[in-house]
């Protein structure tokens, strides 16, 4: 039973990590619209995102479903507790979904600009809110004995959570820039490289700041690391990624920075899991009454059945997604994308 | 205002709105697959042009469906936390399975179908329409599984104050899954087919894209007539199951108060729940008993044999069920007439039929909604039939004011989305717009 509970703790993390790494591409590129202001640049970027953003979002929906199935008490407690924040998240998700799909339907400047701005706003808000939510969960939130959140909406917007929200944006910006570097014309690639260098610095700075904050105000997040020093491998990996990133940016193939930033995000999820384990929702009012993978999981049979479905299903999903990604992105420059997309819109 | 009521309104609004789109997506996806297959079999460019035209419509529909559907995955937790805690052990699994086994597939390949024709290999593109259709149909399966479990729970026991899974197979194939699934998928195919018929008729009336519209009309009509006639049997199969497993709902649907041997089939009536009677009845004697049990003297349970606290809202159940059946009957007559005109070869110039086909476009959507209301309102006062009452299922820690705020937000968004969908579809039908999509093809013809 414990093995299954731990497996699902990891698997929910994997689904959410899959979302941040892959949807990070289209969320990040959307956030970077503020740096790419011309209609041509934005259209060239959207051209690459349109076929893949939808399937990337399914990682989040499936993560939500898996959380519901494996840890119903967490799903119920967190989602109802963060009610207004989640409604804002839904609004942002709906906005960007409509924006990216509807924009190419009408070829008018005003229409295009409106939906581009909506896509930027929605994408940025999604990153910010998910970062804020993760910050709150890491630090812990007050729960009653039933596992219901007892704080209010504004309590979620504390200094630490705003910091993690901004940190989330900085990481997603790296993903977006990474995508543009792999599929960009020389000019765009150069611009994306500069952006990546800047966000590397910002995110490193925020990471250090947040770590120091935790050291002073949230020392409990280090407890697992003191007990199991092997876990330090995760922050070590993250720091290596930070160290390698600027080198990769300057000297290595165009795809490498994206791989490094993806690995960095995976290491961060590992780091978070290591800090929170076995809690999924640490209870700041009474740490002994946290929602943990032991006390909030589904039954043995459900976890087993779900594991079978996941073990069969997820490799198949990865197989066809990678096939599709390869076909859409293999050896094609963004310059070509601009030409293709221009001919698609003008015919 | 009461938080439970607000959550119910919000859930009804969001699901009811969302449910406009997936049936059309499913129906259209199969018709597009069929068109593409014809193209590959015959090599006729007409079929490629047709599939491109309908893929554009599918794209807009899918987009609005996805945008409105995002809310669903989260809403059980936000508004129905007590429900989620009570049934999460069983109810979460089909939702997660839908993601892993179906929605990934549908979303991945709809990107290919819409944007990939010139960007991926021909093999992958050829596969995409089939995989989108399969993904959409499987996706519906898991959602129907979840819903059916709320209607006729099975494969569980109560332990530690919640429902726990005892058999996944029994929970998935609970008594109402199969009848409801077949009924809903057939309804989706009807929706898609009549939509194709209606839009094609519009194009013919406007004298636009005639060749493509004629062939689309023909394909749509043939699919529609088969699906409509089939629905007689599938609807019957589903109704018999409801009579068997949810007798109070069935009695409300049929407007039967007194349990009766040799119960009549009500064709029309005005129900009066206060006086427990139906006025202005038109009925066929013995036929309800005959339908339910193939025995004219079979006793059908009436509402009076259940305590009033277990009654669903009678009027909402009764007045949605009957128009659904009337409209279903009308679809059969209409499509049979169409096929007759098709065989005589006069359909392409038959203005009356074409006008009626255009007028008929909204009706499959209305029928879907009516059937959904019958099923879900008829389930009340239970959220899980016989197990958990709706009143006990809502989140306890969400203030009513916040729900009201989100309700207003969703209402506004959904009005905008509906307007956007109609705007984009009608725009697509204007001459000159869709030439874009088929323009390259026209040049190569």
Which of A57, A302, A330 should we substitute to test contact with B (largest number of B Cβ atoms within 10 Å)? Answer: A302
Contacts of B421 in chain A (CB under 8 A): none
Query: Contact, B317 vs B249, CB < 8 A?
Result: yes
> Residue A341's pLDDT is what?
56
Which tokens sit at A190?
A: 């150069």
Answer whether A327 sits within 8 Å of B60, measured CB to CB.
no
> Residue B266's pLDDT is what?
86
Beta bridge partners of B162: B159
Of all residues in chain B, the one with the smallest CA distance to A151 is B397
Query: Contact, B303 vs B239, CB < 8 A?
Result: no
Residue A326 in this model has a pLDDT that exceeds 90: no
Of the partner residues B67, B90, B116, the one whose CB lies closest to the CB of residue A51: B116
Which tokens sit at B35?
A: 């068109």
Q: Taking residues B285-306, what's their average pLDDT?
A: 85
Percent of chain B residues past pLDDT 90, beyond the cut: 69
Answer whether B424 sits within 8 Å of A102, measured CB to CB.
yes
B257 in contact with A at a CB cutoff of 8 Å? no
d(CA A29, CA A52): 12
Answer whether B115 sits within 8 Å of A150, measured CB to CB.
no
Structural domain spans, chain A: 2-346
- Segment B346-359, tens digit of pLDDT: 899 899 999 999 99
Q: How far is CA B216 from CA A220, B47, B219, B340, in A?
A: 65, 9, 5, 17
Answer whether B92 sits within 8 Å of A94, measured CB to CB.
no
Instruction: Kindly tell me the burial class for residue B343, based on how many C-beta atoms sit within 10 Å of its own C-beta (0-12, 13-18, 19 or more).
Output: exposed
- Segment B271-282, tens digit of pLDDT: 888 888 888 888
Which of B7, B104, B109, B402 should we substitute to test contact with A (largest number of A Cβ atoms within 10 Å)? Answer: B104
B12 in contact with A at a CB cutoff of 8 Å? no
Answer whether B164 sits within 8 Å of A70, measured CB to CB.
no
Residue B415 in this model has a pLDDT that exceeds 60: yes
CB pairs under 8 A between A and B: 227
Q: What is the DSSP letter of B209?
A: S
- Segment B55-86, tens digit of pLDDT: 999 999 999 998 888 898 899 999 999 999 99
Answer whether A79 sits within 8 Å of B402, measured CB to CB.
no
B390 confidence band (pLDDT: 50, 70, 90): very high
| CB contact set of B426 (below 8 Å; sequence gap of 6+) | none
Between helix B81-98 and helix A300-329 the angle, nearest 10°, is 50
Answer whether A309 sits within 8 Å of B100, measured CB to CB.
yes
Q: Where are the beta strands (DSSP E) in B89-241?
A: 156-159, 162-165
> Residue A344's pLDDT is what?
53
ipTM of the complex: 0.89
B396 in contact with A at a CB cutoff of 8 Å? yes
Half-sphere exposure of B159 (CA within 13 A, CB side): 11
Of all residues in chain A, the one with the smallest CA distance to B169 is A305
> Residue B263's pLDDT is what?
86
Contacts of A76 in chain B (CB under 8 A): 77, 81-82, 84-85, 88, 395
> Residue A254's pLDDT is what?
81
Residue A334 in this model has a pLDDT that exceeds 70: no
Percent of chain A residues past pLDDT 90, beyond the cut: 69
Distance of CA A2 to the CA centre of its chain: 27
Q: Please, which residues 139-178 of chain B have a Cβ atom closer than 8 Å to chain A? A: 159, 164-166, 168
Answer whether A76 sits within 8 Å of B88, measured CB to CB.
yes
> Residue A24's pLDDT is what?
94
Query: What pTM was estimated for this model as a whole?
Result: 0.91
Query: Contact, A338 vs A184, CB < 8 A?
Result: no
Of the partner residues B95, B118, B164, the one whose CB lies closest to the CB of residue A299: B164
Q: Taking residues B117-126, what's their average pLDDT?
A: 87
- Segment A119-135, tens digit of pLDDT: 999 999 999 999 999 99
A336 confidence band (pLDDT: 50, 70, 90): low
Of all residues in chain B, the one with the smallest CA distance to A314 is B100
Q: Taking residues A96-112, what's their average pLDDT?
A: 89
Of the partner residues A79, A94, A313, the one whose CB lies closest to the CB of residue B100: A313
Query: Contact, B95 vs A68, CB < 8 A?
Result: yes
B246 in contact with A at a CB cutoff of 8 Å? no
| CB contact set of B381 (below 8 Å; sequence gap of 6+) | B309, B310, B311, B312, B389, B390, B391
Angle at A252 between CA A251 and CA A253, to 5 degrees: 140
A187 confidence band (pLDDT: 50, 70, 90): confident
Q: What are phi and psi of B97, to 5 degrees?
A: -60, -35
């Amino acid at each position: 039973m414990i093995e299954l509970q731990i497996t699902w703790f990891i698997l929910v993390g994997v689904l959410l990590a899959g979302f941040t790494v892959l949807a990070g591409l289209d969320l990040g590129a959307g956030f970077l619209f503020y740096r790419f202001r011309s209609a041509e640049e934005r259209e060239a970027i959207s051209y690459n995102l349109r076929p893949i953003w939808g399937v990337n979002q399914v990682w989040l929906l499936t993560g939500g479903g898996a959380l519901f199935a494996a840890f119903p008490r967490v799903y119920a407690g967190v989602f109802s507790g963060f009610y207004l924040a989640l409604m804002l998240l839904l609004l942002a998700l709906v906005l960007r979904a409509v924006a990216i799909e509807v924009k190419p339907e009408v070829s008018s400047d005003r229409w295009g600009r409106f939906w581009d701005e909506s896509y930027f706003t929605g994408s940025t808000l999604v990153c910010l809110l998910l970062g804020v939510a993760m910050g709150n969960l890491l630090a812990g939130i007050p729960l009653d004995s039933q596992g219901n959140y007892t704080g209010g909406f504004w309590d979620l917007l504390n200094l630490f959570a705003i910091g993690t929200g901004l940190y989330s944006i900085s990481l997603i910006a790296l993903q977006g820039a990474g995508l543009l570097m792999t599929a960009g014309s020389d000019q765009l690639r150069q611009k994306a490289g500069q952006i990546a260098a800047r966000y590397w610095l910002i995110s490193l700075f925020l990471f250090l700041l947040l770590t120091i904050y935790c050291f002073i105000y949230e020392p409990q997040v280090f407890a697992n690391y003191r007990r199991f020093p092997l876990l330090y491998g995760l922050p070590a990996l993250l720091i290596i990624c930070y160290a390698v990133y600027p080198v990769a940016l300057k000297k290595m193939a165009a795809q490498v920075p994206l791989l490094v930033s993806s690995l960095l995000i995976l290491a961060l999820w590992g780091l978070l899991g290591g800090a929170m384990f076995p809690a999924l929702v640490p209870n700041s009012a009474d740490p002994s009454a946290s929602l943990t993978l032991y006390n909030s999981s589904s039954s043995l049979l459900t976890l087993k059945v779900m594991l079978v479905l996941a073990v069969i299903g997820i490799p198949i999903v990865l197989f066809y997604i990678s096939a599709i990604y390869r076909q859409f992105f293999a050896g094609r420059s963004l310059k070509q994308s601009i030409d293709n997309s221009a001919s698609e819109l003008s015919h | 205002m009461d938080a439970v009521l607000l959550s119910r309104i919000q859930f009804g609004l969001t699901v009811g709105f969302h449910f406009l789109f997936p049936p059309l997506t499913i129906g259209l996806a199969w018709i597009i697959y069929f068109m593409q297959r014809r193209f590959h079999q015959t090599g006729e460019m007409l079929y490629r042009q047709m599939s491109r035209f309908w893929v554009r419509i599918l794209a807009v529909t899918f987009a609005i469906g996805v945008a409105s559907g995002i809310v669903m995955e989260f809403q059980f937790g936000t508004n129905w936390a007590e429900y989620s805690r009570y049934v999460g052990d069983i109810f979460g699994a089909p939702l997660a399975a839908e993601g892993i086994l179906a929605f990934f597939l549908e979303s991945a390949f709809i990107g290919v179908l819409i944007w990939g024709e010139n960007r991926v290999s021909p093999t992958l593109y050829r596969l995409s329409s089939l995989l989108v259709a399969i993904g959409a149909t499987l996706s519906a399966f898991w959602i129907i599984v979840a819903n059916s479990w709320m209607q006729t729970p099975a494969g569980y026991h109560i332990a530690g104050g919640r429902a726990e899974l005892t058999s996944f197979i029994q929970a998935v194939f609970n008594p109402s899954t199969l009848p409801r699934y077949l009924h809903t998928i057939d309804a989706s195919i009807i929706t898609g087919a009549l939509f194709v018929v209606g839009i094609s008729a519009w194009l013919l009336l406007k004298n636009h894209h005639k060749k493509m519209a004629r062939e689309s009309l023909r394909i749509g009509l043939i699919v529609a007539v088969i699906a409509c006639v089939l629905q007689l049997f599938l609807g019957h199969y589903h109704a018999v199951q409801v009579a068997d497993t949810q007798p109070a709902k069935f009695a409300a649907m049929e407007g039967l108060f007194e349990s009766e041997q040799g119960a009549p089939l009500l064709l029309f009536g005005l129900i009066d729940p206060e006086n427990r009677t139906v006025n202005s009845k038109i009925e066929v004697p013995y036929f309800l008993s005959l339908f339910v049990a193939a025995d004219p003297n079979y006793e059908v349970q009436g509402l009076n044999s259940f305590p009033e606290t277990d009654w669903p809202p009678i009027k909402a159940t009764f007045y949605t069920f009957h128009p659904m059946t009337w409209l279903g009957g009308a679809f059969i007559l209409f499509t049979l007439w169409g096929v007759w005109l098709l065989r005589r070869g006069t359909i392409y110039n038959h203005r009356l039929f074409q006008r009626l086909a255009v007028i008929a476009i909204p009706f499959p959507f209305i029928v879907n909604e009516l059937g959904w209301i019958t099923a879900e309102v008829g389930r009340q006062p239970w959220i899980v039939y016989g197990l958990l009452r709706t009143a006990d299922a809502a989140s306890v820690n969400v203030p009513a004011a916040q729900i009201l705020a989100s309700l207003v937000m969703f209402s506004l968004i959904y009005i905008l989305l509906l307007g956007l969908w109609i705007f984009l579809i009608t725009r697509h039908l204007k001459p000159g717009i869709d030439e874009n999509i088929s323009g390259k093809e026209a040049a190569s013809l």
